[in-house]
Amino acid sequence: MKKYFLLFSALLILIGSCSQHTQSLSEAELRAQQVSEAHGLDAFAQVSEVAFTWGVARTDGNFERRWIWNTKTDTVTRIMNGDSISYNWKRLDSVSNEINKGFINDKYWLFAPLQLAWDKGSYTVSLEKEVESLGQGHILDKLTITYGNEGGYTPGDAYDFYIDKDHVVREWVFRRGASEEPSIVSICEDYITLGGLVMAQKHNRSGQENYLYLSDIIVK
């Protein structure tokens, strides 16, 4: 009986600890966590490799580059115009640093909702409920994150994530330098689920014929 009492007590302490952690989050921080979880944050821990093609559809011809990311070794391979180059994104030199800027940009388009968890601590966050989205004029909740002025390739930038009641990102807005005017308004479409990861394959830009796409996605 004593053994079972101790096990029950330990379980209550664990549950209480998790509850206190959740309660310590602000409403905006909790929503950011829920968005990441809705897009496969927990599943990502089991992923060893992600491959995808990042492209822009343009009237004068598409632009593409393919990435293969080994998440366990931090090795990244870029394939573009028939050439392939690999590097470790945790140990950069002057050449790979320039290539890595492209990887960080393209990875953000694929995993923007997960970045809310991965970048936690490097941004401030606020939440507005039931506002009109900029792209399609839908009534959604707006989660705004603003990065600090130091670190990263584009410090001080802000992102507005328009999310539905299921915590799925329907649009997101990039504001360079946290300016009031949007730099990019992206409408997220063609969601796909692979290996537990929920990813938008198409990003339409409001009022433009050009759009950005993520194709040939492989999750191992």
* Blockwise average pLDDT, block size 10, the chain, 220 residues: 40 44 81 98 97 94 96 97 94 94 96 97 97 97 94 84 98 96 96 98 87 97
Q: Specify the DSSP class assigned to residue 93.
A: -
**CATH code of the region 2-219:** 2.50.20
Q: Specify the DSSP class assigned to residue 87.
A: E
* Cβ neighbours for 85, distance < 8 A, ≥ 6 positions apart: 77, 78, 96, 99
End-to-end CA distance of the chain: 46
User: What does pTM read for this prediction?
Assistant: 0.86
- What the block records as the tokens of 79 is 């394939």
Is beta strand 169-175 parallel, antiparallel or unpaired with respect to 49-57? unpaired
Q: Smallest Cα–Cα separation from 66: which of 49, 83, 87?
A: 83
